[in-house]
Amino acid sequence: MPQLNEQANLNGDTPAEVDADVIVVRDLRKNYGELTAVDGLSFSVHAGETYGLLGPNGAGKTTTMRMLSGLSPVSSGKITVAGIDVIKDSRAVREVMGVVTQHDGLDGGLTVFQNLFLYGFLAGLTRQRAKDRAHEVLDFFSLRDRSKANVYELSGGMKRRLSIARSMMTSPSVIVMDEPTTGLDPQSRNRVWEELAVLKELGATVLLSTHYMEEATILCDRLLIMDHGKILDEGTPDQMIERHAPSEITQLRAEPAALRSVRDYLGERDIGYREVGALVSVTGANGDRPDLSGLTSVEGIRTTYRAGNLEDVFLAITGRELRDS
């Protein structure tokens, strides 16, 4: 099991911040020439919290995480991680932080064990400690039986888990993960979620980005939704759903022949709807169940009801779908 370091305190502005906030980002900006990729971002992550960055492609999530990990220079602003001023001392931050980048960056010519060992050794562990730690991490991530395999022999899911495992080599108290489960099948994704849940129990502070609404709902204590480098809103998943999603959504799965009748019916009554493939999502005025009684005689329509979720929140505040953004 990874031994997690005690969370260091911050030199925050208020006594509450001193105890509570492990990551503090203030008015962070990043310009690439004319483009402002991160545009005055401010947020804080409490000790032991899992905090999510959500946003469409190009929103500025990776840019933010790279600046936070000391991998990319900031244009302006302030970042403190576990009391370390990241802008002044990006080397020191890497000692307390594990980083999982959007692209794995594993060494394909080395074995699983060698990747872990080398990472630990280069990060400053002694040869013996790197070896011991690699064994611990292999056990924790159930990768022991693949320890002698070359990275190119691993499936995509195993590679992703190895890159998360690798970030644990230095027993970090803060973990930054850029889309940890993108491209994984549901089983591997569940496995990563279980591993992250254990790290959380051990007290790690986790910042992650994701395009999966379910992942954000399950893992994140709080999250922010951003676009064009700016925060659109921040809160717990429940708060965000309460604020931005209808409490109930009616879903009509319509066969092609029935779809036109559904559109006509909703259009004539001015009932707002969203159509994705054969699925039509409808919300009545003031969140009430819409009157669809006139459609009962139409063949080929199946009606179900579901609660509002983060995907609805995302759509409502960015105007774009979570995954197809």
Ligand X SMILES: Nc1ncnc2c1ncn2[C@@H]1O[C@H](COP(=O)(O)OP(=O)(O)OP(=O)(O)O)[C@@H](O)[C@H]1O
**Measuring CA to CA, how many Å separate 196 from each of 54, 75, 141?**
18, 32, 10
**Minimum CB–partner distance for residue 227 and ligand X (Å):** 9
The residue (of 58 and 77) whose beta carbon lies closer to ligand X is 58
In the list 62, 90, 181, 318, the residue contacting ligand X (rule: CB under 6 A) is 62
d(CA 303, CA 42): 42
The residue (of 53 and 130) whose beta carbon lies closer to ligand X is 53
Residue 55 in the binding site for ligand X (CB under 6 A):
yes
Strands across the sheet with 222-227, in order?
Answer: 97-100, 174-178, 205-209, 50-54, 222-227, 230-235
Residue 181 in the binding site for Mg ion (CB under 5 A):
no
For residue 8, give the 3-state DSSP assignment. Answer: coil
- Residues numbered 16-45 forming contacts with Mg ion, rule: CB under 5 A: none
Instruction: Count the site residues for ligand X by CB under 6 A.
Output: 12
In the list 11, 27, 32, 203, the residue contacting ligand X (rule: CB under 6 A) is 32
The residue (of 192 and 258) whose beta carbon lies closer to Mg ion is 192
- Residues numbered 72-111 forming contacts with ligand X, rule: CB under 6 A: 102
d(CA 191, CA 184): 10
**Pair of tokens at residue 73:** 């220079």
- Residues numbered 158-217 forming contacts with ligand X, rule: CB under 6 A: none
Cα dihedral 323, 239, 251, 189, rounded to 10, equals: 40
In the list 7, 44, 50, 63, the residue contacting ligand X (rule: CB under 6 A) is 63
Q: Interface mask (CB under 5 A) for Mg ion, residues 81-110, using x and -?
A: ---------------------x--------
The answer to whether 162 and 193 are in contact (CB under 8 A) is no
In the list 39, 45, 61, 158, the residue contacting ligand X (rule: CB under 6 A) is 61
In the list 20, 28, 37, 262, the residue contacting ligand X (rule: CB under 6 A) is 37
Residue 60 in the binding site for ligand X (CB under 6 A):
yes
Residue 57 in the binding site for ligand X (CB under 6 A):
yes
d(CA 243, CA 176): 27
In the list 7, 50, 62, 171, the residue contacting Mg ion (rule: CB under 5 A) is 62
Amino acid at residue number 27: D
The answer to whether 44 and 38 are in contact (CB under 8 A) is no
**Minimum CB–partner distance for residue 278 and ligand X (Å):** 27
Residues 6+ apart with CB under 8 A from 257: 299, 300
The answer to whether 68 and 84 are in contact (CB under 8 A) is no
- Residues near ligand X, by CB under 6 A: 32, 35, 37, 55, 57-63, 102
- Residues near Mg ion, by CB under 5 A: 61-62, 102
